[in-house]
Structure 1
Amino acid sequence: MNILIVYTYPNHESLNASFLQHTLKGLHDHSQKHEVQVLDLYAESFNPVLDFHKEKRRRDLYKDPDLEKYREQIKWANQLIFIYPIWWGRPPAMLLGYIDKLFSANFAYRDTKGLFAEGLLKGKSAICISTMKGPTHYPFIWLHNAHKILMKRALFQFVGIKKIKFFEFGSMEKKEGKQQKRLLQIESHMRNL
Protein backbone atom coordinates (compact mmCIF):
# COMPACT_ATOMS: atom_id res chain seq x y z
CA MET A 1 0.00 0.00 0.00
CA ASN A 2 1.19 3.54 -0.76
CA ILE A 3 0.88 5.70 2.35
CA LEU A 4 1.31 9.47 2.58
CA ILE A 5 1.72 10.86 6.09
CA VAL A 6 1.05 14.60 6.39
CA TYR A 7 2.69 15.71 9.64
CA THR A 8 1.78 19.16 10.95
CA TYR A 9 3.58 20.19 14.10
CA PRO A 10 6.55 22.60 14.43
CA ASN A 11 8.36 20.85 17.31
CA HIS A 12 10.17 17.65 16.36
CA GLU A 13 10.76 16.69 20.00
CA SER A 14 7.07 16.70 20.87
CA LEU A 15 4.31 14.22 21.55
CA ASN A 16 3.08 14.72 17.98
CA ALA A 17 6.56 13.78 16.75
CA SER A 18 6.30 10.64 18.90
CA PHE A 19 3.00 9.82 17.21
CA LEU A 20 4.77 10.15 13.86
CA GLN A 21 7.58 7.82 14.99
CA HIS A 22 5.15 5.22 16.37
CA THR A 23 3.11 5.42 13.17
CA LEU A 24 6.24 4.73 11.13
CA LYS A 25 7.35 1.93 13.44
CA GLY A 26 3.98 0.21 13.18
CA LEU A 27 3.97 0.52 9.38
CA HIS A 28 7.52 -0.82 9.08
CA ASP A 29 6.76 -3.72 11.44
CA HIS A 30 3.82 -4.74 9.26
CA SER A 31 4.16 -8.12 7.57
CA GLN A 32 3.45 -6.59 4.18
CA LYS A 33 5.71 -3.93 2.83
CA HIS A 34 4.28 -0.46 2.56
CA GLU A 35 5.70 2.38 0.53
CA VAL A 36 5.62 5.39 2.87
CA GLN A 37 6.24 9.08 2.24
CA VAL A 38 6.25 11.68 5.02
CA LEU A 39 5.33 15.26 4.22
CA ASP A 40 6.40 17.43 7.15
CA LEU A 41 4.66 20.73 6.39
CA TYR A 42 6.76 22.80 8.81
CA ALA A 43 10.11 21.27 7.80
CA GLU A 44 9.05 21.75 4.18
CA SER A 45 8.25 25.44 4.88
CA PHE A 46 4.95 24.87 3.12
CA ASN A 47 3.25 28.18 2.39
CA PRO A 48 -0.39 27.83 3.53
CA VAL A 49 -1.45 31.29 2.33
CA LEU A 50 -3.85 31.41 -0.61
CA ASP A 51 -2.90 34.14 -3.03
CA PHE A 52 -5.30 35.03 -5.84
CA HIS A 53 -5.14 37.83 -8.36
CA LYS A 54 -5.74 38.49 -12.04
CA GLU A 55 -2.97 36.17 -13.25
CA LYS A 56 -3.40 33.51 -10.54
CA ARG A 57 -6.99 32.40 -10.18
CA ARG A 58 -8.43 30.06 -7.56
CA ARG A 59 -10.09 27.90 -10.19
CA ASP A 60 -6.62 27.15 -11.61
CA LEU A 61 -5.12 25.73 -8.39
CA TYR A 62 -5.39 22.21 -9.82
CA LYS A 63 -2.66 23.06 -12.33
CA ASP A 64 -0.49 25.42 -10.23
CA PRO A 65 3.09 24.25 -10.93
CA ASP A 66 4.17 25.14 -7.37
CA LEU A 67 1.77 22.48 -6.05
CA GLU A 68 2.54 19.71 -8.56
CA LYS A 69 4.79 17.77 -6.17
CA TYR A 70 2.04 17.69 -3.53
CA ARG A 71 -0.65 16.68 -6.03
CA GLU A 72 1.55 13.80 -7.18
CA GLN A 73 1.93 12.62 -3.57
CA ILE A 74 -1.85 12.55 -3.09
CA LYS A 75 -2.40 10.78 -6.42
CA TRP A 76 0.24 8.19 -5.51
CA ALA A 77 -1.21 7.41 -2.07
CA ASN A 78 -3.88 4.82 -1.33
CA GLN A 79 -3.90 5.85 2.35
CA LEU A 80 -3.59 9.38 3.73
CA ILE A 81 -2.54 9.75 7.38
CA PHE A 82 -2.74 13.17 9.03
CA ILE A 83 -0.96 13.84 12.35
CA TYR A 84 -1.71 17.20 13.96
CA PRO A 85 -2.83 18.96 17.16
CA ILE A 86 -6.25 20.49 17.76
CA TRP A 87 -5.80 24.20 18.43
CA TRP A 88 -8.90 26.26 19.23
CA GLY A 89 -11.16 23.41 18.18
CA ARG A 90 -9.63 22.92 14.74
CA PRO A 91 -6.47 21.72 12.97
CA PRO A 92 -3.54 24.17 12.65
CA ALA A 93 -3.72 26.88 9.99
CA MET A 94 -0.74 25.23 8.27
CA LEU A 95 -2.78 22.05 7.64
CA LEU A 96 -5.90 24.00 6.68
CA GLY A 97 -3.84 25.95 4.13
CA TYR A 98 -2.54 22.67 2.70
CA ILE A 99 -6.12 21.44 2.40
CA ASP A 100 -7.28 24.72 0.82
CA LYS A 101 -4.56 24.55 -1.80
CA LEU A 102 -4.45 20.83 -2.58
CA PHE A 103 -8.04 19.64 -2.31
CA SER A 104 -9.07 21.91 -5.14
CA ALA A 105 -11.62 21.78 -7.94
CA ASN A 106 -10.64 19.60 -10.91
CA PHE A 107 -8.10 17.74 -8.77
CA ALA A 108 -9.94 16.52 -5.66
CA TYR A 109 -13.49 17.11 -6.91
CA ARG A 110 -15.38 18.20 -9.99
CA ASP A 111 -18.39 20.47 -9.98
CA THR A 112 -21.49 18.89 -11.50
CA LYS A 113 -24.91 20.16 -12.47
CA GLY A 114 -26.37 18.21 -9.55
CA LEU A 115 -26.55 19.14 -5.89
CA PHE A 116 -23.20 17.56 -4.97
CA ALA A 117 -19.79 17.63 -6.58
CA GLU A 118 -18.12 14.48 -7.89
CA GLY A 119 -15.32 13.32 -5.61
CA LEU A 120 -12.18 12.54 -7.61
CA LEU A 121 -10.25 10.83 -4.79
CA LYS A 122 -12.48 7.76 -4.60
CA GLY A 123 -10.82 4.58 -3.41
CA LYS A 124 -8.45 6.32 -1.02
CA SER A 125 -8.79 6.11 2.75
CA ALA A 126 -7.79 8.51 5.53
CA ILE A 127 -6.67 8.35 9.15
CA CYS A 128 -6.55 11.44 11.39
CA ILE A 129 -4.43 11.33 14.55
CA SER A 130 -4.97 14.44 16.63
CA THR A 131 -3.90 15.56 20.09
CA MET A 132 -5.27 18.27 22.32
CA LYS A 133 -4.59 19.82 25.68
CA GLY A 134 -8.23 19.68 26.76
CA PRO A 135 -10.25 16.54 27.43
CA THR A 136 -11.02 14.27 24.47
CA HIS A 137 -14.71 15.18 24.40
CA TYR A 138 -14.17 18.94 24.77
CA PRO A 139 -14.71 19.73 21.05
CA PHE A 140 -17.86 17.63 21.01
CA ILE A 141 -19.36 19.31 24.08
CA TRP A 142 -18.54 22.91 23.20
CA LEU A 143 -18.19 22.93 19.45
CA HIS A 144 -20.55 20.09 18.45
CA ASN A 145 -17.51 18.20 17.19
CA ALA A 146 -16.73 20.79 14.53
CA HIS A 147 -13.27 19.33 13.91
CA LYS A 148 -14.56 15.88 12.98
CA ILE A 149 -17.39 17.33 10.87
CA LEU A 150 -14.90 19.55 9.06
CA MET A 151 -12.51 16.72 8.27
CA LYS A 152 -15.04 13.95 7.60
CA ARG A 153 -17.98 15.58 5.88
CA ALA A 154 -16.73 18.88 4.53
CA LEU A 155 -13.43 17.47 3.26
CA PHE A 156 -13.02 13.72 2.91
CA GLN A 157 -16.53 12.68 1.92
CA PHE A 158 -16.83 15.68 -0.42
CA VAL A 159 -13.75 14.52 -2.38
CA GLY A 160 -14.85 10.88 -2.45
CA ILE A 161 -12.91 9.43 0.50
CA LYS A 162 -15.37 7.23 2.39
CA LYS A 163 -13.15 5.10 4.66
CA ILE A 164 -12.07 7.45 7.47
CA LYS A 165 -10.71 6.66 10.96
CA PHE A 166 -10.20 9.21 13.75
CA PHE A 167 -7.92 8.95 16.76
CA GLU A 168 -8.56 11.98 18.99
CA PHE A 169 -6.47 12.06 22.15
CA GLY A 170 -7.29 14.63 24.83
CA SER A 171 -5.58 15.66 28.07
CA MET A 172 -2.24 14.95 26.45
CA GLU A 173 -0.30 17.53 28.46
CA LYS A 174 -1.18 15.90 31.78
CA LYS A 175 1.06 13.24 33.28
CA GLU A 176 -1.97 10.99 33.62
CA GLY A 177 -2.81 11.64 29.94
CA LYS A 178 -1.71 8.09 29.14
CA GLN A 179 0.62 9.20 26.35
CA GLN A 180 2.51 5.89 26.19
CA LYS A 181 -0.73 3.90 25.99
CA ARG A 182 -1.95 6.10 23.14
CA LEU A 183 1.36 5.84 21.28
CA LEU A 184 1.26 2.04 21.49
CA GLN A 185 -2.38 2.09 20.35
CA ILE A 186 -1.36 3.94 17.19
CA GLU A 187 1.62 1.66 16.60
CA SER A 188 -0.61 -1.40 16.94
CA HIS A 189 -3.22 0.02 14.57
CA MET A 190 -0.57 0.73 11.94
CA ARG A 191 0.90 -2.74 12.33
CA ASN A 192 -2.53 -4.18 11.45
CA LEU A 193 -3.28 -1.77 8.61
Structure 2
Amino acid sequence: MPYAVILAHPRPGSFNHALAHAACAALGRLGAEVRLHDLYAEGFDPLLEAPEMGRDAPLSPSLSLHCREIAAAEGIVIVHPNWWGMPPAILTGWVDRVMRPGVAYEFLEGDNGEGVPRGLLSARGAVVLNTSNTAREREVRVFGDPLERIWKDCVFGLCGVADVRRRMFETVVTSSPGTRQEWLRQTEALILETFSVS
Protein backbone atom coordinates (compact mmCIF):
# COMPACT_ATOMS: atom_id res chain seq x y z
CA MET A 1 0.00 0.00 0.00
CA PRO A 2 1.19 3.54 -0.66
CA TYR A 3 2.16 6.16 1.90
CA ALA A 4 0.50 9.58 1.91
CA VAL A 5 2.54 12.74 2.45
CA ILE A 6 0.44 15.91 2.86
CA LEU A 7 2.26 19.25 2.68
CA ALA A 8 0.66 22.60 3.57
CA HIS A 9 2.92 25.62 3.09
CA PRO A 10 2.24 28.39 0.56
CA ARG A 11 5.84 29.29 -0.32
CA PRO A 12 7.66 26.96 -2.73
CA GLY A 13 11.13 26.23 -1.43
CA SER A 14 10.13 26.65 2.22
CA PHE A 15 11.71 24.54 4.93
CA ASN A 16 8.37 22.70 5.13
CA HIS A 17 8.94 21.64 1.52
CA ALA A 18 12.42 20.41 2.46
CA LEU A 19 10.92 18.40 5.35
CA ALA A 20 8.31 16.84 3.05
CA HIS A 21 10.96 15.87 0.51
CA ALA A 22 13.18 14.41 3.26
CA ALA A 23 10.22 12.31 4.41
CA CYS A 24 9.58 11.14 0.84
CA ALA A 25 13.25 10.26 0.40
CA ALA A 26 13.28 8.20 3.60
CA LEU A 27 10.10 6.37 2.56
CA GLY A 28 11.70 5.73 -0.83
CA ARG A 29 14.67 4.10 0.92
CA LEU A 30 12.16 1.74 2.54
CA GLY A 31 10.91 0.81 -0.94
CA ALA A 32 7.55 2.48 -0.29
CA GLU A 33 5.27 3.93 -2.93
CA VAL A 34 4.72 7.57 -1.97
CA ARG A 35 1.84 9.90 -2.86
CA LEU A 36 2.88 13.50 -2.13
CA HIS A 37 0.16 16.16 -2.15
CA ASP A 38 1.33 19.78 -1.96
CA LEU A 39 -2.06 21.32 -1.15
CA TYR A 40 -1.16 24.88 -2.16
CA ALA A 41 0.49 23.82 -5.42
CA GLU A 42 -2.56 21.69 -6.26
CA GLY A 43 -4.94 24.53 -5.43
CA PHE A 44 -6.85 22.27 -3.02
CA ASP A 45 -10.21 23.84 -2.17
CA PRO A 46 -10.57 23.76 1.64
CA LEU A 47 -14.21 24.84 1.69
CA LEU A 48 -16.63 22.13 2.81
CA GLU A 49 -19.97 22.86 1.15
CA ALA A 50 -23.28 21.65 2.64
CA PRO A 51 -24.09 19.20 -0.21
CA GLU A 52 -20.78 17.41 0.47
CA MET A 53 -21.43 16.77 4.16
CA GLY A 54 -23.39 13.52 3.95
CA ARG A 55 -21.64 10.17 4.11
CA ASP A 56 -22.81 9.21 0.61
CA ALA A 57 -22.56 12.68 -0.94
CA PRO A 58 -21.19 12.85 -4.49
CA LEU A 59 -17.57 13.99 -4.48
CA SER A 60 -15.46 15.64 -7.15
CA PRO A 61 -12.86 13.40 -8.83
CA SER A 62 -9.96 15.18 -7.10
CA LEU A 63 -11.57 14.88 -3.65
CA SER A 64 -12.43 11.23 -4.30
CA LEU A 65 -8.75 10.61 -5.09
CA HIS A 66 -7.66 12.16 -1.79
CA CYS A 67 -10.23 10.06 0.08
CA ARG A 68 -9.20 6.81 -1.63
CA GLU A 69 -5.51 7.46 -1.01
CA ILE A 70 -5.89 8.33 2.68
CA ALA A 71 -8.15 5.32 3.28
CA ALA A 72 -5.60 2.98 1.67
CA ALA A 73 -2.44 4.58 3.07
CA GLU A 74 -0.14 2.33 5.07
CA GLY A 75 1.36 5.41 6.70
CA ILE A 76 0.62 9.12 6.72
CA VAL A 77 2.99 12.08 6.99
CA ILE A 78 1.62 15.60 7.59
CA VAL A 79 3.91 18.64 7.17
CA HIS A 80 2.86 22.18 8.09
CA PRO A 81 3.84 25.34 9.98
CA ASN A 82 2.33 26.24 13.34
CA TRP A 83 0.06 29.23 12.69
CA TRP A 84 -1.79 30.51 15.76
CA GLY A 85 -1.50 27.06 17.32
CA MET A 86 -3.32 25.57 14.32
CA PRO A 87 -2.56 24.11 10.91
CA PRO A 88 -2.99 26.48 7.94
CA ALA A 89 -6.62 26.86 6.84
CA ILE A 90 -6.00 24.84 3.67
CA LEU A 91 -4.97 21.83 5.78
CA THR A 92 -7.86 22.26 8.22
CA GLY A 93 -10.15 22.23 5.18
CA TRP A 94 -8.41 19.10 3.89
CA VAL A 95 -9.20 17.41 7.21
CA ASP A 96 -12.82 18.63 7.00
CA ARG A 97 -13.28 17.28 3.48
CA VAL A 98 -11.07 14.15 3.38
CA MET A 99 -11.29 12.73 6.92
CA ARG A 100 -14.96 12.18 6.35
CA PRO A 101 -17.50 9.63 7.56
CA GLY A 102 -17.16 6.37 5.69
CA VAL A 103 -13.52 7.17 4.86
CA ALA A 104 -11.78 7.96 8.17
CA TYR A 105 -14.43 7.02 10.75
CA GLU A 106 -17.95 5.71 11.20
CA PHE A 107 -20.61 5.73 13.86
CA LEU A 108 -21.70 2.31 15.03
CA GLU A 109 -25.18 1.04 14.21
CA GLY A 110 -27.79 2.61 16.44
CA ASP A 111 -25.56 5.57 17.28
CA ASN A 112 -27.28 8.85 16.46
CA GLY A 113 -23.98 10.70 16.32
CA GLU A 114 -23.56 11.34 20.04
CA GLY A 115 -21.16 8.44 20.67
CA VAL A 116 -17.50 7.96 19.96
CA PRO A 117 -16.97 6.90 16.36
CA ARG A 118 -14.89 3.95 15.24
CA GLY A 119 -11.77 4.82 13.26
CA LEU A 120 -11.50 3.38 9.76
CA LEU A 121 -8.02 4.39 8.62
CA SER A 122 -5.75 1.43 7.96
CA ALA A 123 -2.50 3.38 8.43
CA ARG A 124 -0.21 1.70 10.93
CA GLY A 125 1.30 5.02 11.90
CA ALA A 126 1.42 8.75 11.28
CA VAL A 127 4.17 11.34 11.55
CA VAL A 128 3.40 15.05 11.92
CA LEU A 129 6.22 17.50 11.18
CA ASN A 130 5.72 21.11 12.25
CA THR A 131 7.78 24.26 12.08
CA SER A 132 7.46 27.14 14.52
CA ASN A 133 9.02 30.44 15.45
CA THR A 134 7.95 29.95 19.07
CA ALA A 135 10.35 28.15 21.38
CA ARG A 136 8.97 24.78 22.48
CA GLU A 137 9.19 25.62 26.18
CA ARG A 138 6.99 28.69 25.67
CA GLU A 139 4.66 26.79 23.34
CA VAL A 140 4.00 24.21 26.05
CA ARG A 141 3.96 26.58 29.05
CA VAL A 142 1.84 29.37 27.56
CA PHE A 143 -0.25 27.68 24.87
CA GLY A 144 -0.39 24.04 25.97
CA ASP A 145 0.89 22.79 22.58
CA PRO A 146 -2.53 22.61 20.87
CA LEU A 147 -1.11 20.89 17.76
CA GLU A 148 -0.27 17.85 19.87
CA ARG A 149 -3.94 17.49 20.89
CA ILE A 150 -5.27 18.27 17.42
CA TRP A 151 -3.27 15.59 15.61
CA LYS A 152 -2.88 12.84 18.22
CA ASP A 153 -6.32 12.97 19.81
CA CYS A 154 -8.74 14.92 17.66
CA VAL A 155 -7.72 13.65 14.21
CA PHE A 156 -5.65 10.46 14.17
CA GLY A 157 -6.82 9.07 17.50
CA LEU A 158 -10.46 9.42 16.44
CA CYS A 159 -9.73 7.91 13.01
CA GLY A 160 -8.02 4.76 14.32
CA VAL A 161 -4.31 5.56 14.00
CA ALA A 162 -2.72 4.78 17.37
CA ASP A 163 0.98 5.31 16.59
CA VAL A 164 1.26 9.07 16.06
CA ARG A 165 4.67 10.72 16.31
CA ARG A 166 5.13 14.46 16.11
CA ARG A 167 8.23 16.62 15.83
CA MET A 168 8.27 20.41 16.11
CA PHE A 169 11.27 22.18 14.59
CA GLU A 170 11.89 25.54 16.27
CA THR A 171 12.91 28.32 16.16
CA VAL A 172 13.09 28.31 12.36
CA VAL A 173 13.51 32.03 11.75
CA THR A 174 16.85 32.12 13.61
CA SER A 175 18.08 28.64 12.67
CA SER A 176 21.35 28.16 10.80
CA PRO A 177 21.80 26.15 7.59
CA GLY A 178 23.67 23.54 9.64
CA THR A 179 20.80 23.26 12.11
CA ARG A 180 18.32 22.81 9.28
CA GLN A 181 20.45 20.06 7.77
CA GLU A 182 20.44 18.31 11.13
CA TRP A 183 16.65 18.66 11.31
CA LEU A 184 16.33 17.04 7.88
CA ARG A 185 18.53 14.19 9.08
CA GLN A 186 16.33 13.83 12.17
CA THR A 187 13.23 13.80 9.94
CA GLU A 188 14.59 10.94 7.84
CA ALA A 189 15.53 9.02 11.00
CA LEU A 190 12.03 9.51 12.45
CA ILE A 191 10.39 8.28 9.24
CA LEU A 192 12.64 5.21 9.12
CA GLU A 193 12.06 4.46 12.80
CA THR A 194 8.28 4.83 12.48
CA PHE A 195 7.69 2.91 9.26
CA SER A 196 10.48 0.30 9.11
CA VAL A 197 9.10 -3.22 9.20
CA SER A 198 10.53 -4.98 12.23
In the alignment, which of 68, 88, 98 is matched to residue 102 of structure 1? Answer: 98
Q: How many residues align?
A: 188
Please give the per-residue CA displacement for 1:134-186, whole angstroms capped at 9, x wherever unaligned: 11233322221211101111111111111111011111110359222111111
Stretch deviating more after TM superposition (176-185 or 70-79): 176-185
The alignment's TM-score, normalised by the length of structure 1, stands at: 0.88
Please state how far the C-alpha of 1:26 moved relative to its aligned partner. 2.2
User: For 1:138 and 1:39, how far apart are their aligned partners in 2?
Assistant: 31
Distance 1:130 1:39 in 2: 16
Contact kept? 1:118, 1:159, Cα under 8 Å: yes
CA–CA distance in 2 between the matches of 1:132 and 1:139?
Answer: 9
| Per-residue deviation, 1:41 | 0.3
Shift of 1:24: 2.3
Asked if 1:86 is matched to 2:87, the reply is: no
Structure 2 gaps, min length 5: none
Identify if the C-alpha distance between structure 1 residues 170 and 38 changes in structure 2 by more than 3 Å, giving closer, same or farther.
same
Given the alignment of the two structures, is residue 184 of structure 1 paired with residue 182 of structure 2, yes or no? no
Alignment-mate amino acid for residue 70 of structure 1: H
2:54 counterpart of 1:59:
yes
Query: Which residue matches 2:169?
Result: 169
Contact 1:109 1:158 in 2 (8 A): yes
Q: Equivalents in 2 of 1:61, 1:39: separation in Å? A: 24
2:72–2:122 Cα contact (<8 Å) kept:
no
Q: Structure 1: which 5+ residue stretches go unaligned?
A: none
Aligned equivalents of 1:191, 1:150: Cα separation in 2:
24
Supply the AA of the counterpart residue of 1:77: A
Specify whether residues 160 and 170 from structure 1 end up closer, same or farther in structure 2 by C-alpha distance, changes over 3 A only. same
Equivalent of 2:38 in 37, 40, 55 = 40
SS of residue paired to 2:172: coil
Secondary structure class of the residue paired with 1:59: coil
Q: Return the match for 1:71 from 67, 70, 74.
A: 67
- Decide which moves more: 170-179 or 149-158: 170-179
TM-score (norm 2): 0.86
* Runs of 4+, deviation exceeding 6 Å: none
Secondary structure in 2 aligned to 1:97? helix
In the alignment, residue 152 of structure 1 is paired with which amino acid? Answer: K
CA distance in 2, matches of 1:139, 1:99: 23
Paired residues of 1:26 and 1:189 also in contact (CA < 8 A): no
Coordinate RMSD, CA, aligned: 2.0
Identity %: 23
- Contact 2:72 2:123 survives alignment (8 Å): no
